[in-house]
Amino acid sequence: MGRKILLVEDDRETAVYLVRGLAEEGHSVEHVGDGRDGLFLASDGSFDLVILDRMLPGMDGLAALRAMRAAGVSTPVLILSALASVGDRIEGLESGSDDYLVKPFSFGELLARVNALLRRGEGRGGGAADLRIAVGDLEIDPLARSVKRAGRKIDLKPREYRLLEYLARNEGRVVTRTMLLEQVWDYHFDPGTNVIDVHVSRLRRKLEEGFERPILHTVRGAGYKLEAAA
């Protein structure tokens, strides 16, 4: 289900790119290009997530963030910044941000971080059970790194588990090869091998052998999707 996101970004090209991409993921995005406007909108606490550029006209992003936290606004905040040193990232996190993403970035990485922060926001105040991921009769426990389908334990190798968890966190969405290379294999280029196809094939066999309904689908020419059959 889509969530309500506030984007505070003064670079028009970046803003258009992010608004379009997040909207395609089903989110409702409100965009402003000024730090003061961002602080004003964020302060009512109605957003599920704030994506905040660090260098903004009107009011610096970190100043706006500190003011939000001082006002008791606990909305998760993802900072975007071209400032990439360790000191810059530490300053951003210590100012109250929940995550810090350096420009330039891939949309796949931003989306993964957005999803993680939204899940974290949903889980605040809950117990460990809130962290479990369910896709149909498939259940994943990220804390134990265990997987069950219809109550039956499925043994996965570490890379297979990472692949499954990433697909599950994007349930119902097509995940491209590029996104998998970046998020599961930490490659920011295509090594030109069939490593993804081999791992997906092994994972599919483990998830579906002995079950009537498929759950891991290949979307021809696009990528893969984890989705329980209706």
Based on the fold, state whether residues 101 and 196 are members of the same structural domain: no
Total tally of structural domains belonging to the chain? 2
Tell me the mean pLDDT per 10 residues along the chain, length 230.
88 94 92 94 88 94 92 89 88 90 90 86 48 87 85 91 90 88 77 85 95 93 86
The answer to whether 78 and 29 are in contact (CB under 8 A) is: no
pLDDT of residue 71: 83
Which DSSP state fits 57?
S
pLDDT of residue 126: 41
209-214, long-range: CB within 8 Å, 24+ apart, which pairs? 210/152, 211/149, 211/150, 213/136
Distances (CA, A) of 111 to 22, 106, 114, 139: 8, 9, 5, 22
Distance of CA 110 to the CA centre of its chain: 6
Based on the fold, state whether residues 17 and 115 are members of the same structural domain: yes
Based on the fold, state whether residues 185 and 222 are members of the same structural domain: yes
> Backbone phi, then psi, for 138, in 5-degree steps?
-95, 130
pLDDT of residue 66: 92
C-beta neighbour count of 209 within 10 angstroms:
9
Based on the fold, state whether residues 117 and 161 are members of the same structural domain: no
Based on the fold, state whether residues 117 and 37 are members of the same structural domain: yes
Three-state SS at 181:
helix
Based on the fold, state whether residues 107 and 140 are members of the same structural domain: no
Which tokens belong to 113? 């971080």
Last residue of a domain, one of 108, 123, 138: 123
Based on the fold, state whether residues 48 and 97 are members of the same structural domain: yes
Based on the fold, state whether residues 114 and 136 are members of the same structural domain: no
> Backbone phi, then psi, for 223, in 5-degree steps?
160, -135
Based on the fold, state whether residues 108 and 181 are members of the same structural domain: no
Based on the fold, state whether residues 164 and 219 are members of the same structural domain: yes
Based on the fold, state whether residues 82 and 174 are members of the same structural domain: no
Which tokens belong to 188? 């920011």
Last residue of a domain, one of 83, 99, 123: 123
pLDDT of residue 125: 42
Domain CATH number, residue 45: 3.40.50.2300
Last residue of a domain, one of 68, 98, 123: 123
Based on the fold, state whether residues 164 and 215 are members of the same structural domain: yes
CA angle 146, 149, 152 (to 5 degrees): 80
Alpha carbons 42 and 142: distance in angstroms, whole number:
31
Query: Structural domain of residue 30, as residue ranges?
Result: 4-123
pLDDT of residue 198: 92
Domain CATH number, residue 222: 1.10.10.10
Distances (CA, A) of 166 to 84, 105, 203, 225: 26, 18, 13, 10
pLDDT of residue 133: 86
> Which segments of 124-219 does DSSP mark as H helices, in order?
158-169, 177-183, 195-208
